[in-house]
Amino acid sequence: MSIIYKYLTIQIFKYFGMMLAMVVGIYVAVDFFERIDDFMEAKLPLSKALTFFFLKTPFIITQILPVCILLAVLVAFGLMARNNEIVALKSSGVSIFYLLKPVIAIGFILSILLFFFSEVIVPITMGKANQIWLRDVRKELAVISKEKNIWIKGNRSITHIAYFNPKIITVYGITLYQFDEKFRLIRRVDAEKGIFKQGPWLLDHVMEQNLNKEDGSYKISFHERLSETFDFAPDNLSQVIIKSEEMSFKGLLEYIKKVELEGYNAAVYRVDLYAKVAFPMVCIIMCMLGAGIAVRGSVTKGLPVSIAYGVGITFLYWIFYSLCISLGYGEMLPPFFAAWTANFIFLCVGTLTLLNAD
C-alpha cells in the first residue's frame, strides 16, 4: 500500500470512528429518554434497561453506518481540499481516480461487514431486545412461536392466528376459543381471514360452534361474513409478529417459502429479503458520492458544510429508499425493484459525480 493510500485510509477511518461514536451516542441517548419512563412504570431495574439499549445498539449501528462513512469521506476529502492537498497531488500527476481506489475499497469492505453484522449479530440481539420490551416492559400476553403462528390470551379467550399481514391489516387462519368461568369451551370461531375495520374485525368464510349447556352438544353454523370484536388491536399484532430484522437471510427465505407454500401473500417479507442485500451495498454508493462531491471542491468551506452535504444526501436517499420499500410493501413495485431502485439511481448519480470530478 502506498503512502497516499495509507494516509487516506487512516484519515477516513479516524473520522468514521468519530462519526459512528457520536451518532450512536445521540441515537441511544434520545431513545433512552423516550423509553425510560416505560421501564420505570414496569418497575424494572436500571440494569434491565441498560441491557435493552445495549442489545439494540448493533441494529442502530447497521442503520447509521452508511451515514457515518459518507460523512467521514466528505470530511476527509473536504479538509484535504481546503488545505490544497488535492491540488498539490494533482500538480504532482496524481489522478483523482487514483485517490478513489482506497475509498471504493473501504466502501466494499464495509458493505461486506454490514451484511455479516446484519446476518449474524442483529437477529440475535434484536430478538432478545424485543423479548425484553414485550414481555417485561409492555407485559404483552401474546405468545409468538418460532414460525408464523400467534397465540393471544384474552379475557376468558384464546385466539390463534396463522399469519398476519401488517401492511393490509389482515389476519389469516383465525381460530377463537371462548371459555366460561370453569374454563369450559362455550364457543369456537374459525375463519379463513379477517380484516380490521376500525373497531370490530370482519371475518370471511366463518364456521361458528356454540355450546348447548343443556345437553353439552355444539351447534354449528356457517357465515360468509361475521363481525367479531377481539381483545387485541392491529398494533398489538404488529408488536409481536416475527420481524425481518430478527431473522437471517437464510431464515427469512425459509420463512417466505413456508408462508407462500400455505397460500399466503409474503410480498412484505420478500421485499425485506432483497433489502437485506441491497441496503449494505449503500456503503459503496455513499463513498462514491462523498468522494465525488468533495474533490469537486463543493465542500471546501469547512466541516459544517461537509456535514450539511452529508446529511442532505442521506436524507434524500433515505426518503427515496423508504418510498420504494413502501411501494414494494403495497405491491406497486416488484420486491426486487423496490429494494434496489434507490441504490441504482444513487449509484448513477455517484458515477456521474466521479466522472465530472477530474
pLDDT reported for residue 146: 47
pLDDT reported for residue 275: 92
Could you tell me the pTM of the whole model? Answer: 0.75
- Of 48-57, 142-151, 318-327, minimum mean pLDDT range: 142-151
How far is the C-alpha of 223 from the C-alpha of 202, rounded, in Å?
Answer: 11
**Percent of the chain whose predicted confidence (pLDDT) is above 70:** 92
Mean pLDDT of 10-15: 90
Please provide the average confidence, as pLDDT, over all residues in the chain.
Answer: 82
Mean pLDDT of 67-91: 80
Mean pLDDT of 80-104: 77
Q: Indicate the pLDDT class of residue 302, thresholds 50, 70 and 90.
A: low
pLDDT in tens, 220-261: 889 888 888 877 777 767 666 777 777 888 888 888 888 888
